[in-house]
Amino acid sequence: MKPEKIIGDLAKGAYKPVYWLEGEEDYFIDLVTNYAETAILSESEASFNRTIFYGRDADWASVINACRRYPMFAERQVVILKEAQAMRDIEKLEAYIDKPLSSTLLFVAYKGKKVDGRTKLSKTIKEKGVQLTTKKLYENELPDWTLGLIKSKGFTINNKALFLLIDHIGNDLSRLNNEVDKITLNLSDRKAITEDDIEQFVGISKEYNVFELQDALAKKDFYKAIRIATYFESNPKAGPLQLIFPSLYGFFSKVQMLYSAPGGSDKQLASSIGVSEWKIKEYTLAAKKYNAGAVERAILLLNQYNLKSIGVDDAGTPDGLLLKELIVKMMQD
């Protein structure tokens, strides 16, 4: 079940006694647990009927005893077990989940992994509870997800600003949400987010960033690429090699995939290499500027210079000079 569906049902009062929230993406788990903590009970009800445990400090017997209490001055109570993956003997919760109290809503936040599907606990959760299993979003899913998040807050964003934000933060959904909140709080009466807003409120230069360097390399715009590298040389925190090299490696790896991708529309090509349809033109342009051999050489150079940046076969060349050397060699015909 999706987190939006769970929250929607809770908002309508369609309660279930047990909610098991698991998987790799903390953001969706936190979304549901935060709602459970703040929105189900009124402030006066919560003082008597909301209990929060943390897995590292809690034991299974205390959690079950709390769940078996009846609510005071309210129709229901809420019990939340956070960081449940750290609790010992968590499988012993199965006895309660099999026969839960209807006036208790138990939320278990089991982060970073999934309960073993072969266990009795897993089977009981599926039978008696509501289960949310989360996973990290793929790169090509981030634009639509972020766009939906921004729209849900009543704002819009142009494509360049969207990708500037995503390329800087990656798939850390909690941070993306926090940065969007920070931006929107500073827009006053405006509803449209631009790259200027990303630059001002997130602290990313709209002209000198990994996204623009990637664009310059894709177009074989040597002077723009060197200009960005020079900026990074003077502002090391704006473009550390540890962030630049993985980003460029991912880009050229996907360009390489285009050579074996079946032909078709932009949408089909984007799907075949795992990127957003909005960005496919950048990849197809690079595939025209670089032949298959040049792309393979670029990937090998990125590996070589990544090793140099950590001192392998290098006597301490400054990062800025390493990046410039890389750019020159990548663009050689």
Q: What is the per-residue pLDDT across 198-251, written as a single tens digit (0 to 9) for each?
A: 999 988 888 888 889 999 999 999 999 999 999 999 988 888 898 899 989 999
Low-confidence ranges of the chain (pLDDT < 70): 333
CATH 1.20.272.10 positions along the chain are 210-330
pLDDT of residue 272: 87
pLDDT of residue 333: 67
Any idea which fold 210-330 has?
Answer: Zinc Finger, Delta Prime; domain 3 (1.20.272)
* Amino acid identity, position 146: T
User: Model's pTM, two decimal places?
Assistant: 0.77
pLDDT of residue 85: 94
pLDDT of residue 153: 93
pLDDT of residue 93: 95
Work out the burial of residue 28: count CB atoms within 10 Å of its CB; fewer than 13 is exposed, 13-18 middle, 19 or more buried: buried
Work out the burial of residue 187: count CB atoms within 10 Å of its CB; fewer than 13 is exposed, 13-18 middle, 19 or more buried: middle
CATH of domain 3-134: 3.40.50.300
pLDDT of residue 265: 86
Nearest residue to 260 via CA among 275, 279, 273: 273
Which DSSP category does 127 fall into? H
CATH 3.40.50.300 positions along the chain are 3-134
Residues 6 or more apart from 80 whose CB is under 8 A from it?
33, 36, 37, 50, 51, 52, 53, 106, 107, 109
CATH 1.10.8.60 positions along the chain are 139-202
Work out the burial of residue 311: count CB atoms within 10 Å of its CB; fewer than 13 is exposed, 13-18 middle, 19 or more buried: exposed
Question: What Å distances lie between residue 219 and 79, 159, 216, 266, 285, CA to CA?
Answer: 56, 19, 5, 18, 7
* Domain 139-202 CATH class label: mainly alpha
* Tens-digit pLDDT profile for residues 75-102: 999 999 999 999 999 999 999 999 999 9
In which order are the strands placed within the sheet that holds 77-82? 50-54, 77-82, 104-111, 18-23, 130-134
Residue with tokens 């459970």: 36
